[in-house]
Amino acid sequence: MTTVAPEQPRTAVHPLKAWVREMADLCQPAAIHWCDGSEAEYQSLCELMVEHGTFTRLNPEKRPGCYLARSHPSDVARVEERTFICSRTREAAGPTNNWADPAEMKRTMHERFRGAMRGRTMYVLPFAMGPLDSPICKIGIQITDSPYVVVNMRIMTRLGTVVLDRINAGAAFIPCVHSVGAPLAPGQADVPWPCEPDPQKKYIVHFPDDPSIWSYGSGYGGNALLGKKCLALRIASSVAKREGWLAEHMLILCLTSPAGKKHYVAAAFPSACGKTNLAMMQPAIPGWRVTTLGDDIAWIRLGQDGRLWAMNPETGFFGVAPGTSAQSNPNALAACAKNTIFTNVVLTPDGDVWWEDMGVPAPASGIDWEGNPWTPASGKKGAHPNSRFTAPAAQCPVIDPAWENPDGVPLCAILFGGRRPATIPLANEAFSWEHGVFMGSACGSETTAAALGQAGVLRRDPFAMLPFCGYNMADYFAHWLSFAQRTDRAKLPKVYFVNWFRRGANGKFLWPGYGDNARVLKWICERIDGTAAAQTTAIGNLPTPESLDLAGLDLPAENLRQLLDVDVAGWKKEIANVAESYAKFGDRLPAALTRQLDALRERLG
């Protein structure tokens, strides 16, 4: 890109112009570009990054409109230990968040950002989370010195002049400031992936009382695409608490029966635990169909009819590549067949991409995610475990017709889950709303590659929101509980806990997963409709063996027995572990959850 847009568009009005000028004075960029969100702008920035070596254009016959980027080895995932919630008090942030004094952190951020964009262009991105006519749509302005961020944000959010028009009409905006933290001295050559290489000097900072977001040093994923986890979850969850709705780490899908009846379901799983696969799955049972409204984030509000209505605030998928295959998720593969940005996967000799568990043979050779020659015999993975694809949601072949409905869709069920090799059954229905909130609060899962740190370790991840809740999680539990008092509880969604990952004594999965998970969803829908049986147990209502549609599935009877077994000894250990996780909240923990834990202990005997 050889030209720079005017320093400020004629349509920008105060206080936006004043804030951008303030940030420019602080960051000292070489130029300012106001993003209009156009296709021409997108293509120009992609071409600029090809020239700079940030992007590799993929073979247009195989991947039309697609590009590959490789990040710095230090910049590959969320850095939770460098993510801060700067509420007025430590108690407001709670024990699960890293808290910092807001006044001190603002001083630190100003020091970090002083001159941080020297030699670079400052991009001004007006973006909206959610359809602009949604009652809970939120508008942000992200300032960034990363064109990679701009093009990804264009896929992931509603970006450009249409959003700026709303600000000019009086809409409030959330300020979001981002820099890769790599200023250029005069004459200094740039690198393909500029960032702060020292993880201890990266900052992802949230000020929920403003609200505002500041991110420094990282150019990757949710650290830099500030509309995603930062705004859509950490800041939005805090705003939602004040305004009376919910911002959740949940997929939204619609399961349609052969008779044409629709059931809208939201589901919360930790990252890389099958959310995208479930959201887009091809059911293994004839006549049933799944369409997706979103694979990662759900904003949920109480409708005038007393039901909970959910919408996806994003417009794209930022999916984990490894494990995405024709078996696990053919619809995701179709969604990223064109107009997609791939990050940290293998480049094949014919200009295509490849990753582990893609379901196709590995290329004889290629370039790995670090830019080095690679072969299957190299002894290391070609794609980073947290490598990603950024694809427009509209390209998904099973995108739901209502996915951009400003009102959202009415939920009939909410699911929780995670990777649990033992104890947790295939499906478990809560006895009540309070029992369902207890299930969500007790979520645990094996850790994955989406966050830096050791993988395969069990950690409690309440509501799959541990890294994303922007305020005290005890207050978050109380907020969830409050919906039973705010509406007719009979109108609230039924709550379930599912586990596709239970293993037998031989270490192998007991359940086939993927499209066969529709069999569990069918049972859930039939439970909601009052047509499916369940067995009441100490931990909840479980499917009876006969109530699950297993037609055409060669599932050993012993597998089914174990999948629906109540492991009393395992559950007693679970109770002790949940009690330990609750203890950190002290007196702030809602009494209703303590009562649920005590009742479960009593039922188990």
Cα(317)–Cα(336) distance, integer angstroms = 9
Instruction: Label residue 1 by pLDDT band (50, 70, 90).
Output: very low
3-state DSSP percent of the chain in helix, strand and coil, to 5: 30, 20, 45
Task: Indicate which CATH number applies to the domain containing 92.
Answer: 3.40.449.10
Query: Mean pLDDT, to the nearest integer, of 460-476?
Result: 97
> Do the domain assignments include residue 42?
no
> Do the domain assignments include residue 478?
yes
Report pLDDT for 6: 44
Q: Judge if 270 and 410 occupy the same domain.
A: yes
Q: Judge if 289 and 340 occupy the same domain.
A: no
Q: Judge if 505 and 595 occupy the same domain.
A: yes
Q: Judge if 257 and 236 occupy the same domain.
A: no
Q: Judge if 123 and 266 occupy the same domain.
A: no
Chain segment 299-342, per-residue pLDDT in tens: 999 999 999 999 999 999 999 999 999 999 999 999 999 999 99
Domain final position from 191, 224, 243: 243
Cα(189)–Cα(398) distance, integer angstroms = 45
Query: Mean pLDDT, to the nearest integer, of 227-256?
Result: 98
Chain segment 198-216, per-residue pLDDT in tens: 999 999 999 999 999 999 9
Q: How far is CA 307 from CA 20, 293, 482, in A?
A: 41, 18, 14
Structural domain harbouring 203: 16-34+70-74+81-243
> Do the domain assignments include residue 381?
yes
Structural tokens at position 545? 């063996």
> Do the domain assignments include residue 386?
yes
Q: Judge if 371 and 437 occupy the same domain.
A: no
User: 175 and 266 in contact (C-beta within 8 Å)?
Assistant: no
Q: Judge if 447 and 532 occupy the same domain.
A: yes
Report pLDDT for 92: 98
Domain final position from 197, 228, 243: 243
- Does the structure show a pLDDT above 70 at 459? yes
Alpha helices in 128-281 (DSSP H): 147-156, 161-168, 221-224, 236-243, 275-279
- Does the structure show a pLDDT above 50 at 4? no
Task: Indicate which CATH number applies to the domain containing 280.
Answer: 3.90.228.20
Report pLDDT for 274: 84
Domain final position from 395, 414, 432: 395
Q: Judge if 555 and 586 occupy the same domain.
A: yes
Chain segment 142-180, per-residue pLDDT in tens: 999 999 999 999 999 999 999 999 998 899 999 999 999
Cα(205)–Cα(109) distance, integer angstroms = 9
> Do the domain assignments include residue 343?
yes
- Does the structure show a pLDDT above 90 at 12? no
> Do the domain assignments include residue 39?
no
Closest CA to 388 of 296, 319, 317, 326: 319
Query: Mean pLDDT, to the nearest integer, of 67-78?
Result: 96
> Do the domain assignments include residue 124?
yes
Q: Judge if 304 and 324 occupy the same domain.
A: no
Q: Which of 66, 273, 396, 443 is the catalytic position?
A: 273
- Does the structure show a pLDDT above 90 at 31? yes
Mean pLDDT of the chain: 95
273 catalytically annotated: yes
The β-bridge partners of 257 are none
Instruction: Label residue 271 by pLDDT band (50, 70, 90).
Output: confident
Closest CA to 54 of 134, 120, 126: 120
Q: Judge if 489 and 370 occupy the same domain.
A: no
The pTM for the full model equals 0.95
Q: Judge if 231 and 219 occupy the same domain.
A: yes
Report pLDDT for 3: 37
Query: Mean pLDDT, to the nearest integer, of 568-597?
Result: 97
Q: Judge if 141 and 234 occupy the same domain.
A: yes
Number of structural domains found in the chain: 3
Report pLDDT for 273: 79
Chain segment 392-445, per-residue pLDDT in tens: 999 999 999 999 999 999 999 999 999 999 999 999 999 999 999 999 999 988
> Do the domain assignments include residue 338?
yes
